[in-house]
A and B are shown apart, each in its own frame.
Chain A
């Protein structure tokens, strides 16, 4: 392991993290819900009555963020590399895995750890470890973007 000091952005990442935490905090205080994106998004795929528009409002807020940032003139869009095949494969795995495991980086990784849930702590250790092994394998065996 070598630390990549060139790309290291502790202040920006901490500030962004505080905003993510603020959003999770407000969601719980106002709405009493765990702010988990995979669950909020997944619930729209088979909507129940009266259970659609709050999800849509939240996801719309997410999508408007780059537009607000663009108007503020600060952040440029990061490049997405990887072929269509890689993105489809990864998307299927992310969708399947988060639905089966009932959560992703926000629901388990942030909210779950913050509420000291043993399930979420285990889930987070597993997906971070599995992501690390995947990145290592992708480089070692020459697949991935």
Chain B
């Protein structure tokens, strides 16, 4: 019995060993062939933060269809010359023989290793040469923007020259800007102040600059009509610029004695503290006209609705699309996107400034043509690589 029992155990053990070795040897039999000819090269015309890697496919990958030796893909490992420790950085699909490694340092030399992978098994490593990213004199990935910039600059200069020669430039009416004088006039008649808010961003935001440019025009009108002006500011740098602009406008209007430094005042340094301060001004002073011009965020509706509740005439302008619906719902006039930037040119009627608006229109036509061509090419399936490279590939 004991002998029989032992022979059963031995039998089971032998069967187990048979299956174990059969399995192991069958796996070892399928040794995956590694990729070859791994080359690391600097990416030309870039900022020295990328290297490109190429390799010849593993023979298992090349003959996958014929030999039924499909692999999962290739694992890429990287080491620097100093530490020499290979770390996996990426995995690419089968049938792909290239990879672009980005986010590198231009003073460091890198070495790569690539190996094919199938399930839990890897081929031997194939090593690349050492390569170092080089900083070049021009970024090729920004050539599309460079071309657009040159075309834009040239068209601005062309239209400015045309305007200088006295060629009339048609600019469509912008209701919101036409209403500025009407709003100040209303405030004058009612003997109430005009409230101007140049957005809630610092002076390095182009929308704030656009808002301050409009403030100059508004201040000139309030100076002419002797209408009180209140300009609450969120950032101190915009405060200094705002004070200078209003002072100059009062000087230009021939009323320097009416300028008070506190017309432009710093009220808070936090978004919602600013809302509380401006809301308080609206409810206490009851301005007859509220003008919002610049970059606005979550406070846009809080300000515009408070102003609406006081019965003031309201004109708003912003290039933040998410805030436009709020202004449209709560204000009498709203300048949308580009209209905000066009305001200073529109109000001054200076040919030099109007010329740039015409150039802007020309650029818009060029972009619309590209958008239509791109949509057609993607729909019909021709030339899509060209458009992809032109606008998307980085």
| Chain A complexes with chain B | no
Q: Which residues of B contact A (CB under 8 A)?
A: none
